A and B are shown apart, each in its own frame.
Chain A
Amino acid sequence: MKAGSNLEKVFTQGHFAVTAELGPPKGNDTNVIQKKVDFLRGYVDAVNVTDNQTAIVRMSSIAACSFVIQMGMEPVMQMVCRDRNRIAMQSDIFGASALGIRNILCLTGDHHTFGNQVNAKNVHDLDSVQLIDMVRTMRDNQTLLGGEDKIEGEIKMFIGAAANPFADPFEFRAVRTAKKADAGVDFIQTQCIYDMDRFKEWMKMIRDLGVHEKVHIMAGVTPLKSAGMARYMAKNVAGIIIPDALIDRMAKAQKGADEGINICVEQIQELREIEGVHGIHLMAIEWEHMVGRIVEAAGLLPRPQVEQDSGEKV
């Protein structure tokens, strides 16, 4: 065991993992976290807590993760390179580890100009590959980045990162994931998948590079709420491809939301069959109450009960 998190155990015991996303409040209202945790409890193996996603200021991921633990779920702490340099990141990783956080997702971070602090100075001292390497160094070598400085204690982190098979240049996307594997990543979550053919092509490249044997790939899915949402995402969100056939199906449906969920369940079933896909990551944006329904319909319940270490907080 590298970190001993629930998510790591689910993977290593050969189960098909399920995670979902939780956006912290835009303030200090912990009821927002409680509500989302209550929607997700029992349906997922760990919950991904975003780090100021789309550069909108929210409660810090580390604080929100700590509340998630108190509320009885296991968090995956997202950490972006946009807002902190390597000093602050390593310091926060010490703190996160001490608070019982056992999973970290290393991300570049959405560009700050998409958010509500557009005049900020972005940091990007490290990129996501270098962040992975740093966390791995802290965990496996018990030293700080680039130094002989020994860490007091042990940093137990199961290390994740993202991959986007739908961004360009396509031929480079699997190579970039292979670089993340080289840097020490344990699991990968992908961007939301709608273009199944392209995802399968990417997975083939991943297998050809042997990456699927080193890391657990989690396929990202986001249920569509309406044809309007599908059209908007297809047109405006860089790195997301939604085939016209799916948009048409949403448009023709009597109840768009129900059809979106049906599509999502079908996608999960198709993704499960792909060699190298070890789990799904459900990004039901402000639709957390639907996660249970989707997971149940996809036949992913009950979630596995893995043996916990004694004394572990989760």
Chain B
Amino acid sequence: MQMLALRSDQMIKAEQKPIEEILTYLDPYKKILLSGCGACVTVCHAGGEKEVSLLASSLKMARNLTGKPLEIQEITPARQCEPEFAEEIVEIVEKTEGVEAVLSLSCGIGVQTLARFLTKTPVIPGVNTVFMGETVSHGVWEERCQACGNCLLERTGGVCPIARCSKQLLNGPCGGSSKGKCEIRQETDCAWQLIYDRLKSLGQLDKLREVIPAKNWGTESRDKGPRRIVREDLKI
């Protein structure tokens, strides 16, 4: 077991996949490397060192019952999504005899970083990456940003209707906003009620009178393939 680092990123939220689904993916293999991640998924208790250890035990027990034991090597790098850590995992896979696949409890980014480096070994996702969000209270996380690439929080009092309105409305609440809640679920706050309340307390209600024109979704609508940031000043 290795813990390689210090910093803790935490905005990405994930949930472990059902064990039955993971077992289906692992069916062809006898020996795997199970990799967690010390960053976001550790903070949301989906794929940190502790979850790696628990899942490894459960998987081994389940496979023993079927008479097809599974050997599992465990590792939790600081951040699976960074090439330097990914390279270390590649080294481990190459040095450890018989590792046929990697099960990753990192977010979808980490899975793809590993897949980029591990050219001949399948990398299987063990979690579903769900959203970028914040901790609302202990054990409760909620989406806050969809990385639309064109931030409009200044106009909406610091509450994002893209991430938090169930219809992504830009010009105010629909007819289903009732007593502060969204019609789709009683526990869901109406984003536009939050925006209204916030702008009211800021004395900026006049902002709600302006029509926000049709949004340029170019930043998230696959018009240039995956989005990319290139900083010439930082290139080596």
A residues whose Cβ falls under 8 Å from a Cβ of B: 81-82, 86, 108-111, 113-114, 122, 124-130, 133-134, 145-146, 162-164, 166-169, 171-172, 175-176, 178-179, 182-183, 191, 238-239
CA distance A109 to B178 in the complex (A): 16
A124 touches B167 (CB 8 A): yes
A87 nearest CB across to chain B (Å):
11
CA distance A17 to B196 in the complex (A): 34
Residues of B within 8 A of A182 (CB): 211
B171 touches A168 (CB 8 A): no
* Residue contacts A-B, CB under 8 angstroms, 16 given: A110-B176, A111-B166, A124-B168, A164-B174, A167-B173, A167-B176, A171-B196, A172-B172, A175-B208, A179-B209, A183-B211, A238-B176, A238-B178, A239-B177, A239-B178, A239-B183
A108 touches B183 (CB 8 A): no
Residues of A within 8 A of B183 (CB): 111, 238-239
Pair count A-B, CB < 8 A = 104
A108 with B174, Cβ < 8 A, contacts A169-B196, A172-B208 known = yes
B146 nearest CB across to chain A (Å):
12
B217 nearest CB across to chain A (Å):
7
A167 touches B174 (CB 8 A): yes
Look across to chain B and name the residue whose beta carbon is closest to the beta carbon of A131: B214
B175 touches A239 (CB 8 A): yes
B179 touches A125 (CB 8 A): no
B169 touches A113 (CB 8 A): no
Q: What per-residue 1/0 map shows which CB atoms of B109-124 lie under 8 Å from chain A?
A: 0000000000000000
Residues of B within 8 A of A162 (CB): 175
Residues of B within 8 A of A238 (CB): 175-178, 181, 183
A108 touches B169 (CB 8 A): yes
Q: What per-residue 1/0 map shows which CB atoms of B154-182 lie under 8 Å from chain A?
A: 00000000000011111111111111110
Residues of B within 8 A of A175 (CB): 172, 208-209
Q: Does any Cβ of A come within 8 Å of B130's Cβ?
A: no
CA distance A110 to B184 in the complex (A): 10
B175 touches A86 (CB 8 A): no
For the complex with contacts A126-B214, A130-B170, A168-B193, 14 further pairs of A-B residues with Cβ separation under 8 Å are A108-B175, A124-B169, A125-B217, A127-B167, A128-B171, A130-B214, A163-B175, A167-B176, A168-B179, A171-B196, A176-B173, A183-B211, A238-B176, A238-B177
| Partner of B214 from A108, A133, A164, A178 at Cβ < 8 Å | A133
B209 touches A178 (CB 8 A): yes
Interface members, chain B 173-231 (any A CB < 8 Å) = 173-181, 183-184, 190, 192-193, 196-197, 208-209, 211-215, 217
A167 nearest CB across to chain B (Å):
5
A167 touches B213 (CB 8 A): no
Look across to chain A and name the residue whose beta carbon is closest to the beta carbon of B179: A168
Residues of A within 8 A of B168 (CB): 124, 127
Give the residue among A126, A166, A178, A238 with the most B Cβ atoms within 10 A: A238
CA distance A234 to B167 in the complex (A): 23
Give the residue among B171, B175, B213 with the most A Cβ atoms within 10 A: B175
CA distance A167 to B166 in the complex (A): 16
Look across to chain A and name the residue whose beta carbon is closest to the beta carbon of B183: A238
Look across to chain B and name the residue whose beta carbon is closest to the beta carbon of A125: B217
Residues of A within 8 A of B197 (CB): 169
| Partner of A169 from B169, B171, B175, B177 at Cβ < 8 Å | B177
Look across to chain B and name the residue whose beta carbon is closest to the beta carbon of A164: B175
B171 touches A129 (CB 8 A): yes
CA distance A49 to B197 in the complex (A): 36
A130 with B171, Cβ < 8 A, contacts A125-B217, A175-B208, A179-B209 known = yes
CA distance A114 to B180 in the complex (A): 19
Residues of A within 8 A of B181 (CB): 238
Look across to chain B and name the residue whose beta carbon is closest to the beta carbon of A237: B183
| Partner of B196 from A134, A164, A172, A191 at Cβ < 8 Å | A172
Residues of A within 8 A of B175 (CB): 108, 162-164, 166-167, 191, 238-239
CA distance A82 to B184 in the complex (A): 15
A82 with B193, Cβ < 8 A, contacts A169-B173, A176-B172, A238-B177 known = no
A239 with B176, Cβ < 8 A, contacts A111-B183, A182-B211 known = yes
Look across to chain B and name the residue whose beta carbon is closest to the beta carbon of A130: B214
